[in-house]
Amino acid sequence: MTLEDFCSRFHSFVGEKQDMPQILKKGKELLGGLLGDPRWFGGILGRIISDPAYLETQTPSVFANEVMLYRSPDRSFSVMAFIWEPGALCAVHDHSAWGIIGSLLNPTKEIRYRRLDRGDIEGHADLEAMPARVIAPGEMVYVAPLDQGIHQTGAGSDLISVSVGVYGKSIRKGYIQFFDPANKTVSRAYPPKIYKRILAIRTLKSAPEFWAEELSAFPGVPALPEYLAKEFRPSPSCRKGAPRGGREA
């Protein structure tokens, strides 16, 4: 099955508004067809190497090894590949949508985590690791959104591996969460373009008042999405009466 054929079939299927068990069952069947013959990915690698225009279509992600293969016009699903160098593992993270992930080339490793705390303390997360699983080429796993889909993935051997995932519509916009199980912490991870906006907001909050006045020139600021508007709110650790820099006069 070609990538184009997979995306066409998946788009038709998702448009039928199936319930989640059916989406996962049928989605696994379709993705299995794409994973069955990895030769199509050679063309993707060739475009990455030699076609600058193709690279320009790649939206920067929180994961540097991500390759966006397809995003449906109605944003109902997206298809991504991840290229893992030998021994590489990404940060422990959650997902903003359901997903079906399969190994295309060489084994992929997955470690799932169960969240033990209630998530009511900002910046804190207590996780328990499940036994690692090695996903052979052609095999697949499911991931759920938010706390039900916390995991870590990467190369499952001393060879470069490639995994392919199809993900549903995001139920949380703008960011995912990175976890540090050893230190029991969690933080938001933003794509580069959004992170630049976050840095600009944080700089204004800590900068002289005359810089903050520049916001009046941007009428769209009051309508910022929640994940950006949150950055304008005072930090719980800030003391009342302290200047923007957070230091006492």
Question: How, if at all, do strands 146-155 and 185-189 pair?
Answer: unpaired
Q: What is the mean pLDDT of the chain?
A: 88
pLDDT of residue 160: 97
Residues 80 and 143 in one domain: yes
Residues 98 and 199 in one domain: no
Residues 166 and 49 in one domain: yes
pLDDT in tens, 161-183: 999 999 999 999 999 999 999 99
Residues 215 and 164 in one domain: no
pLDDT of residue 243: 36
- The CATH number covering residue 178 comes to 2.60.120.10
What percentage of the chain's residues is helix, strand, coil (to nearest 5)?
A: 30, 30, 40
Contacts of 196 (CB under 8 A, 6+ apart): none
Bridge partners of 154, per DSSP, are 89, 109
**Counted domains in the chain:** 2
Residues 220 and 239 in one domain: yes
pLDDT of residue 232: 75
Of 144, 172, 189, the last residue of a domain is 189
Residues 118 and 159 in one domain: yes
Range of the domain at 62: 3-189
Residues 227 and 109 in one domain: no
pLDDT of residue 246: 35
Residues 203 and 244 in one domain: yes
pLDDT in tens, 94-144: 999 999 999 999 999 999 999 999 999 999 999 999 999 999 999 999 999
Residues 179 and 197 in one domain: no
Residues 164 and 242 in one domain: no
Going by the DSSP 8-state scheme, the letter that residue 172 receives in this structure is S
